[in-house]
């Protein structure tokens, strides 16, 4: 697999590292990770970097994950790049909102590395043709 470029958006630096570790365990290597602590920071990264995959929390200060997702789509940033929400919010309503905003995947916290693999790898394969 060619080098993956991944943006992880979460206000918790610990959670960003855990998500990165899960992705590496899922086989996403080599991988360059860009980190953002809010939706605002995520948009800044996307205005300067191209990525293959975005994983985002929902509950964050400054700009939450759903608004971040809407802004990505509205600004035509990261076109065709799959977005997976990773969040403690697990209701059907939240999943529906995420899908309407343009998310392709949804992982509930707490999660296992296996769940990350199952939900993320098919999306990555579709993007990089692997």
Return the number of the residue (100 or 128) whose C-beta is nearest other proteins.
Answer: 100
Q: Shortest Cβ distance from residue 14 to other proteins (Å)?
A: 5
Residue 11 or residue 41: which is nearer to other proteins going by CB? Answer: 11
Query: 85-93 — which CB contacts under 8 Å span 24+ positions?
Result: 85/55, 85/56, 85/57, 85/58, 86/10, 86/15, 86/19, 86/55, 86/56, 86/57, 86/111, 87/57, 87/58, 87/59, 88/59, 89/58, 89/59
Residue choice 3, 13, 50, 100 for contact with other proteins (CB under 8 A): 13
- Segment interacting with other proteins (CB under 8 A) among 28-36, 57-65, 72-80, 122-130: 57-65
């Amino acid at each position: 697999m060619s080098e993956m470029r991944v943006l992880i958006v979460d206000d918790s630096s610990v959670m960003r590292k855990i998500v990165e570790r899960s992705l590496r365990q899922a086989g996403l290597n080599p991988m360059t990770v860009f980190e953002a602590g809010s939706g605002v920071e995520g948009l800044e990264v996307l205005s300067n970097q191209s990525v293959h995959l975005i994983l985002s929390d929902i509950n964050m200060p400054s700009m939450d994950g759903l608004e971040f997702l809407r802004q990505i789509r509205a600004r035509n940033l990261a076109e065709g790049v799959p977005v997976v929400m990773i969040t403690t919010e697990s209701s059907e309503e939240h999943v529906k909102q995420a899908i309407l905003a343009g998310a392709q995947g949804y992982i509930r916290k707490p999660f296992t590395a296996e769940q990350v693999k199952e939900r993320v790898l098919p999306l990555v394969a579709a993007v990089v043709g692997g």
